[in-house]
Structure 1
């Protein structure tokens, strides 16, 4: 029998909740990955360099960082559903603006608006999970969540490349707008409120700032947040530099680029599902630390091959695959461990920080890759290597507690 929520909506099953939250959270990444193969075409159409088109990605990261900081606090005060509806609608409208953009500056402005809308789904879905599940169940849910979210970076560049065969880059944004509208309708009809009125925070600005300051003072929480943020920053360096590495340097077609990009994203899904099995035998922390070390080794090998010429394009690909796929074992566990340390009343604010910091670093890393653009994958290797070392050191040093040191 179908359950109903208190407001008369039909309550979602666990599988339905995973699917809808995954789709909502994937809207932000989908808006990134689908237009990557179109970078050279956008540059030619708008009369700018590819490096300037990469700025649309950097500013998008800034928008995601700012938006997530706002939505977490707002959702703690007003509930989860209303802000999520608003953000998804804003993403849809702003994406239509991208499809109609007449200059690179207009495209950047609309991309910022898209990010401000898409950040709602990325931050509030984490808070909804914290509202309903404990630490262990959250880790399992986030792994299933990534199965849905992971489909976006696999399919998006492939679909984007195929759409370029049918029309211009503008068609990509029309498709994203249509998908976001479908998500908005599903959210409106099927997702009930997960934060009851009696559990909402009614603090003023001073109390909100105090909450954020208190979270930043929690060393272990901050360690998980910064460690995960460095993984995100490395991924956005890859996203920014991938078109140059594959298309410009090695002559991969726009359609084949989607396949290469999708293969790396498939690894992200594979590892997120492997995490479900590993959690039956190991703690979330042990899985995360072990994976982070393997990731660092792969990054150093990737740097060595691109900067020192140790190998070829084909030998660099497995290292790059490990660097990206490892996120499937790091993100769910870091999210669960970090959010598990937080009082439920501050879940939205904590989720904001776990979203804002990674995308702020992601904006910086993608901008760094764009600034060093030289038509090769060397800038990508340099940025990924530096971020990888930093993230590993932070994670190992800042997340150590007596409880964490127990086997």
Structure 2
């Protein structure tokens, strides 16, 4: 009896360690994207460049994250997860350190693209490894925990960067990212074995990879859930890119108050992600996803109305809270449902989902600023339209 309990405790401890590692790998992307945002003004001065070129380093990172996932996902289906992950983390650490030493914006843009590609491996291979190790309700619960991290990281990352800037220069942010890479690298080398057995690996070459990706593109169910994830992510990226102008330029809140509002939405994502993990045994994943999409649509519609009639700050905060919190229902369920039938192509499937998530988000985010910083209407329109698209692709794929 005691031996059984000991084995069960060991298995539980091991799963918690794996979840910690997968959470860290999932957080690399958002932290790499957002952590240096508070340093933009000082970087513009020190690198003697323009704001537009500094922002180009962000675009380069997003492109690297999207493209990197498409490359490393299929590669891991052939080679396994562990070797590509270790190589990518070593590259991530080296490039992060190089980012802290650059003297020109051109070098930074190139390095940020490579950093994004290296960081992409952590995101795609964490999802693929979870699919290798778990299934059913347990897989959904773990995806819900990762969704919590993925939801919070883009919101908390700028705050973390701002805190670091109180004590170090902007270069210290990239050193901190390198430190995260080293920590994960040590944990993976010492504790995480290969999750994809050799007999389950893809044996084909590039032609086989292309055929696999083509089969995923023609998989109605997979594409429906992946696009729903991508458009929902686009709504969140639109919020992240435009909210600072809405709250600070329109409602004239202080940076500290803005940070508190950001934290409030992080709490909302934590709550809904926890509810998803808790109720997956009581309700089906499809039901939880539909509820999340409904919350997203209602929140986006209310935010659009509030913006049109200019009700005020409190109403804006409440409606955006409802909108952003909904991703805690959407992210884990779309990932779990999309991955359920992809046991043989988990790496490729995870990569394609990552491309949609960051590709759509990266394309949507710059559109928010086209209307200037004097009105929140462009942001409200984009969030509402893209929320409708998320609902549409989900509904169309389930007909």
Where does residue 383 of structure 2 map in the other structure?
384
Do 2:228 and 2:390's aligned partners in 1 also have CA atoms closer than 8 Å? yes
Where does residue 329 of structure 1 map in the other structure?
329
Tell me, in whole angstroms, the C-alpha distance in 1 between the residues paired with 2:369 and 2:96: 23
Q: 5 Å matches for 1:200-215?
A: 200-215=201-216
Farther off after superposition, 173-182 or 291-300? 173-182
Where does residue 97 of structure 1 map in the other structure?
98
Tell me, in whole angstroms, the C-alpha distance in 2 between the residues paired with 1:139 and 1:314: 34
Tell me, in whole angstroms, the C-alpha distance in 2 between the residues paired with 1:145 and 1:361: 20
Structure-2 change in CA distance of 1:162 and 1:248 (3 Å): farther
Structure-2 change in CA distance of 1:175 and 1:13 (3 Å): same
Do 1:59 and 1:363's aligned partners in 2 also have CA atoms closer than 8 Å? no
Where does residue 368 of structure 1 map in the other structure?
367
User: CA deviation digits over 1:169-226, x for unaligned, max 9?
Assistant: 3322222221221111111111110011111111011111111111111111110010
Where does residue 21 of structure 2 map in the other structure?
20
Structure-2 change in CA distance of 1:349 and 1:188 (3 Å): same
Where does residue 78 of structure 2 map in the other structure?
77
Do 1:36 and 1:243's aligned partners in 2 also have CA atoms closer than 8 Å? no
Deviation at 1:377, TM superposition (A): 3.8
User: CA deviation digits over 1:285-328, x for unaligned, max 9?
Assistant: 0110121011111112222333x243222321122122221111
Report the secondary structure of 2:166's partner residue: helix
Do 1:37 and 1:258's aligned partners in 2 also have CA atoms closer than 8 Å? no
Where does residue 169 of structure 2 map in the other structure?
168
Tell me, in whole angstroms, the C-alpha distance in 2 between the residues paired with 1:375 and 1:101: 35
Tell me, in whole angstroms, the C-alpha distance in 2 between the residues paired with 1:238 and 1:15: 32
Deviation at 1:127, TM superposition (A): 0.7
Where does residue 284 of structure 1 map in the other structure?
285
Q: 5 Å matches for 1:171-250?
A: 171-250=172-251
Where does residue 31 of structure 2 map in the other structure?
30
Where does residue 399 of structure 1 map in the other structure?
398
> What is the aligned-residue RMSD (CA, Å)?
2.4
Structure-2 change in CA distance of 1:262 and 1:106 (3 Å): farther
Query: How many residue pairs were aligned?
Result: 392
Structure-2 change in CA distance of 1:355 and 1:11 (3 Å): same
Deviation at 1:82, TM superposition (A): 0.8
Do 1:288 and 1:333's aligned partners in 2 also have CA atoms closer than 8 Å? yes
Structure-2 change in CA distance of 1:281 and 1:12 (3 Å): closer
Q: 1:341 and 2:304 equivalent? A: no
TM-score, L = length of structure 1: 0.89
Do 1:154 and 1:266's aligned partners in 2 also have CA atoms closer than 8 Å? no
Tell me, in whole angstroms, the C-alpha distance in 2 between the residues paired with 1:336 and 1:59: 29
Where does the alignment leave 5 or more consecutive residues of structure 1 unmatched? 4-9, 401-407
Where does the alignment leave 5 or more consecutive residues of structure 2 unmatched? none
Report the secondary structure of 1:166's partner residue: coil
Tell me, in whole angstroms, the C-alpha distance in 1 between the residues paired with 2:241 and 2:335: 24
Structure-2 change in CA distance of 1:311 and 1:41 (3 Å): farther
Structure-2 change in CA distance of 1:51 and 1:139 (3 Å): same
Structure-2 change in CA distance of 1:150 and 1:362 (3 Å): closer
Tell me, in whole angstroms, the C-alpha distance in 1 between the residues paired with 2:96 and 2:375: 30
Do 1:221 and 1:399's aligned partners in 2 also have CA atoms closer than 8 Å? no
Tell me, in whole angstroms, the C-alpha distance in 1 between the residues paired with 2:315 and 2:124: 37
